[in-house]
A and B are shown apart, each in its own frame.
Chain A
Amino acid sequence: MMWKKLLLVPITLITAAQAAAQEEPSAFNMTRGVTEISRDAFDMHMLLFWICVAIGVGVFGVMTWSLIRHRRSRGAKASKFSENTTVEVVWTIIPVLILVGVAVPATAVLMKTNEPAPEPDVVVDVHGSQWKWEYVYPDEDISFVSNLASGSRDASQMNAKENPADNPNYLLDVDNPLVVPTGKDVRLRITSDDVIHAWWVPQLGFKRDAVPGQFNNADIRIDEPGTYRGQCAELCGSGHAYMPVVVEAVTPEEYDKWVAQKQEAAAKEAKQASAPYNFEVAMKQGKNVYDSACASCHQANGKGVPGTFPALEGGEITTGPVDGHLKIVIHGSEKNPVMQAYGDKLSDREIAAVVTYERNAWSNDTGDLVTPEAVEAAR
């Protein structure tokens, strides 16, 4: 009876761990998540796990038995058999049956997971970009960039003064999370602006690659409000570890409020963009552009990353001739393909503003005011 009791211990532990896993992400197991898709994936995972455990106990059991009983030091004499058709047929058929038993539910779940929602309530275009996510809500006329939060960014530098451990959500926090309403069908249309990324939030139950030139749809429906965190899951260059995905699921009322706020902010920004152009306006607009487009590599403090991304504070580019500075922002870098050409992505005025900002921010003090006309001429 002793062995039965012993057997109960791991089973109790595993069941307890499983129960806990339903509430929040576990350290040892896949998260059960907050969508139907994620719960289906979790159930498939556990089914497979137990099948593997069962097969493992069988195979390793027989093997261990042989190792213990059939050793020469115990006087075991080798028998001569080397074939047994019945046995071989049996152990071919049993795995076939097990596989069929796995494939049937797997196919059902797979079909369900890929079934598009008939009429999504909210559509969001998700753009992966080195190394940030851009979220565009075409119906609401909202778009924003989601960057790694500055706390993580500062602590992630080599020889950083800040300690990663002081950031509770180290590398999992962003400045602007994706906001979606609970209980609604949300369609994410995922694509990329440069290399392949993958949009992944474990608690939502899937990852989808962000591939340039194609949209991969992912339909999610989150039942419970909350903040769900994940990371880019496809190697996308040196900033791969630094593009978290944060989804905030809020009630539909809060969502409407958030949409209104975002639209207001966008209107304000548009107003700013059409305000008469002067140094003060340029610096303000330039900082916005810098934070969304440049900070993920060159850092919010302009110090860059030694050996990888040049420092803009006191750097040759930002304190040298304006022409060279404009050229690299508009056309990208010939030497380093990672420095993108922003000529197509930003307007003349945005480029003028960000270049002005870079030439006067931090300890840079060139006093240069770059105008949209100068950008047009440099294109």
Chain B
Amino acid sequence: MSQTADSVLDQMEHEHSHHGPRKGPLRWLLTVNHKDVGTMYMVLALVALLVGGVMALLIRAELFQPGLQLTQPQFFNSLTTMHGLTMIFLAIMPGLTGLANWMVPLQVGADDMYWPRVNNWAFWMLPPAAIMLWIGFFMPQGAPGGGWTLYAPLSSTYAPPSIDWVIMAIHIMGISSILGALNIILTILKMRAKGMRLWDMPLFTWTWLITGFLLLLAMPTLAIAVTMLLTDRHLGTAFFDATNGGDPVLFQHIFWFFGHPEVYIMILPAFGIVSEIVPAFSRKPLFGRTSMIWAVIAITFLSAIVWAHHMFTVGLPVEAQVLFMYTTMLIAIPTGIKIFNWVATMWRGSMTFEAPMLWALAFIFLFTIGGFSGLMLADVPADYQYHDTYFVVAHLHYVVVTGSLFAIIAGVYYWLPKWTGHMYNSALAKWHFWLSVISVNVTFFPMHFAGLAGMPRRIPDYPLQFMDFNMISTVGSFVFGFSQLLFIWLIIQSVRGGKKAGDRPWDGAKGLEWTLPSPPPYHTFTEPPSPQTVREEGPHGYH
């Protein structure tokens, strides 16, 4: 009797856990499935990339030649502000979170995220936040123009009304990030398959675990900063209002205590992606796996104690400048270790150059260039000259575009066959790569020169001597922007059909995700992977 009941229950359970997705649009609104949520994050990130990209192209078009041709200065400032906020909070961060939603459960052998319902919520906060952010363009006096850094008092006393909407949008995006981070941390810590020790986890999962903790530190700090802006604007406080005893520099301290970890939130998972791809296409285990993980931990720790290097010109005491210079320089060491380890992974490998590998290699080259300019910026006496010039614009775009964004694209090309079950057109993907990698350098490399020659950032119009560099940058930016349409086309093609991918489309790829069919069924790992599979797909399985 009891045996029969058990088997009936078993069968019910079986049927329940294998039911497919809901039909129609409600599937996407109500879904708690990590793959659906991951897909939605990725789509949002792509949309935001286009919106923020159009803003960037307007900026570059205005800067094509001296004088004003397209935008009034206030609108130009709104564009730079919104471009930054959109790319950071709606393109890069959701892009990385989307990858985490898709891949973390698959990599640790879990059947879903720890809090599936919260996962749905965390995502659905973002579209309204995006609307709140962008709606400023249609409000009287336009969108805020104080830069993505929102420095007071320009963003408190002197801002248009739309700044309140931006502050609320930031709050919502912050809550979404915190919930997402908690969910990822718990999934990793509580739902790993039996036999997967923490130190055996794939690097992408590792970097996201650490990023999760960094998000828990950083996002509340941002919330504090913008709440203080809001109370200064509406409740009569004077945190940042010097005429009433406040201090505008206080805002910068709080903001950058968030803002510096934020740049590592955008780059650590990128390190993880590259650490998956380089071994796969070198057909060798990742070199120095343990030191890679320790390097990420060291970077995370250092990222929290270097914030004032964004503020070397605000009049800090010289002792503070020295201290922040030292801590900032220290970051070069763990970052260097990571670069060296990737290179050592390739050394005496058996390399092939499919699309994901090409993007990962471009990441290593170009992110290193961004690292070099970062080292230069750390040097305070030289930074007095670099600060707030196009040299900084060049640096941060080498880090965020050819760093974070390139890694996300590499990740998509790496895992897309798994998601859709179809290979993409690899010849077209190579066109996308070469067009992008050439044009991105045409866009951002001349900015180093413009900055060194003295061009301040965030200006709608510039002295004549900067004209040539700006023309080159603008041409590059348009090629880069339109090249991304190829990316979208390739994704659509792969979703619709094409050559079957097979379970493991890349012969060197390792990890539990490759033990699943492509595309993976709607519910995976309802039965956890066997300890033997975990062992074989783990880092020691190569031997």
- Give A residues with C-beta under 8 Å from B: 25-31, 37-38, 40-41, 44-45, 48-49, 51-52, 55-56, 59-60, 62-63, 66-67, 70-73, 76-84, 87-88, 91-92, 95-96, 99, 102-103, 106-107, 109-111, 113-114, 130, 155-158, 160, 163-165, 167-172, 194-196, 198, 200, 202, 205-209, 211-214, 216, 230-242, 305-308, 335-338
Contact residues in B for A70 (Cβ distance below 8 Å): 282, 346-351
Contact A91 B336, CB 8 Å, known A76-B350, A82-B287, A170-B66: yes
Does B199 belong to the interface (CB within 8 Å)?
no
Does B154 belong to the interface (CB within 8 Å)?
yes
Contact A103 B453, CB 8 Å, known A66-B349, A67-B361, A336-B141: no
Does B388 belong to the interface (CB within 8 Å)?
yes
Contact residues in B for A239 (Cβ distance below 8 Å): 73
| Contact B375 A212, beta carbon cutoff 8 Å | no
Q: Knowing that A30-B453, A171-B66 are A-B contacts, what are 15 other residue pairs whose CB atoms are under 8 Å apart, sorted by A's residue number?
A: A31-B453, A56-B372, A59-B339, A59-B343, A63-B346, A80-B543, A88-B340, A109-B381, A110-B318, A164-B461, A211-B315, A234-B388, A235-B458, A240-B73, A307-B72
Does B47 belong to the interface (CB within 8 Å)?
no
Does B431 belong to the interface (CB within 8 Å)?
no
Checking B364, B385, B388 against A206 with a beta-carbon cut-off of 8 angstroms, the contacting residue is B385
A366–B453 alpha-carbon span in the complex (Å): 49
Q: Interface readout for B48-79 with A: 1 if CB under 8 Å, 0 if not?
A: 00000000000000000011110011110100
Checking A38, A73, A79, A99 against B332 with a beta-carbon cut-off of 8 angstroms, the contacting residue is A99
Contact residues in A for B341 (Cβ distance below 8 Å): 88
| Contact B326 A207, beta carbon cutoff 8 Å | no
Contact A99 B67, CB 8 Å, known A26-B453, A62-B343, A196-B151: no
| B residues 210-242 in Cβ contact with A at 8 Å | 242
| Contact B350 A196, beta carbon cutoff 8 Å | no
| Contact A78 B350, beta carbon cutoff 8 Å | yes
Checking A41, A99, A235 against B330 with a beta-carbon cut-off of 8 angstroms, the contacting residue is A99
Checking B151, B287, B336, B340 against A83 with a beta-carbon cut-off of 8 angstroms, the contacting residue is B287
Shortest distance from the beta carbon of B61 to any chain A beta carbon, whole Å: 13
- Which among B399-407, B462-470, B491-499 touches the partner chain? B462-470
A207–B387 alpha-carbon span in the complex (Å): 8
Contact residues in B for A171 (Cβ distance below 8 Å): 66, 461-463
| Contact B385 A41, beta carbon cutoff 8 Å | yes
Shortest distance from the beta carbon of A276 to any chain B beta carbon, whole Å: 36
A234–B77 alpha-carbon span in the complex (Å): 12
| Contact A82 B313, beta carbon cutoff 8 Å | no
A321–B121 alpha-carbon span in the complex (Å): 55
| B residues 436-480 in Cβ contact with A at 8 Å | 449, 452-454, 456-465, 468
Contact residues in B for A165 (Cβ distance below 8 Å): 66, 464
Contact residues in A for B520 (Cβ distance below 8 Å): none
Contact residues in A for B141 (Cβ distance below 8 Å): 335-336
A72–B283 alpha-carbon span in the complex (Å): 10
Contact residues in B for A41 (Cβ distance below 8 Å): 381-382, 384-385
Q: Interface readout for B356-377 with A: 1 if CB under 8 Å, 0 if not?
A: 0000010011001100100110
Does B7 belong to the interface (CB within 8 Å)?
no
Shortest distance from the beta carbon of A1 to any chain B beta carbon, whole Å: 30
| Contact A305 B72, beta carbon cutoff 8 Å | yes
A157–B376 alpha-carbon span in the complex (Å): 36
A123–B285 alpha-carbon span in the complex (Å): 64
Checking A40, A77, A211, A230 against B314 with a beta-carbon cut-off of 8 angstroms, the contacting residue is A211
| Contact B384 A113, beta carbon cutoff 8 Å | yes
A207–B459 alpha-carbon span in the complex (Å): 17
| Contact A212 B73, beta carbon cutoff 8 Å | no
Shortest distance from the beta carbon of A221 to any chain B beta carbon, whole Å: 16
Contact residues in A for B145 (Cβ distance below 8 Å): 235, 237-238
Checking A62, A194, A238 against B73 with a beta-carbon cut-off of 8 angstroms, the contacting residue is A238
- CB nearest neighbor in A for B365: A60
| Contact B375 A48, beta carbon cutoff 8 Å | yes
Contact residues in B for A76 (Cβ distance below 8 Å): 348-351
Checking A92, A206, A207, A235 against B337 with a beta-carbon cut-off of 8 angstroms, the contacting residue is A92
Q: Interface readout for B236-273 with A: 1 if CB under 8 Å, 0 if not?
A: 00000011001111000000000000000000000000
Checking B346, B379, B449 against A66 with a beta-carbon cut-off of 8 angstroms, the contacting residue is B346
Shortest distance from the beta carbon of A315 to any chain B beta carbon, whole Å: 18
Does B344 belong to the interface (CB within 8 Å)?
yes
Checking A26, A40, A78, A307 against B283 with a beta-carbon cut-off of 8 angstroms, the contacting residue is A78
Contact A213 B248, CB 8 Å, known A30-B385, A158-B72: yes
Does B333 belong to the interface (CB within 8 Å)?
yes
Contact A63 B321, CB 8 Å, known A88-B337, A106-B380, A171-B462: no
Does B542 belong to the interface (CB within 8 Å)?
yes
Shortest distance from the beta carbon of B459 to any chain A beta carbon, whole Å: 4
A130–B315 alpha-carbon span in the complex (Å): 20
| Contact A110 B381, beta carbon cutoff 8 Å | yes
23 CB contacts below 8 A, A to B, read A41-B381, A41-B385, A59-B343, A63-B361, A82-B288, A84-B287, A88-B340, A92-B336, A95-B333, A102-B329, A167-B464, A200-B456, A207-B387, A213-B248, A216-B314, A231-B456, A233-B389, A235-B77, A237-B145, A305-B73, A335-B141, A336-B141, A337-B157
Shortest distance from the beta carbon of A237 to any chain B beta carbon, whole Å: 6
Shortest distance from the beta carbon of B524 to any chain A beta carbon, whole Å: 29
| B residues 151-170 in Cβ contact with A at 8 Å | 151, 153-154, 157-160
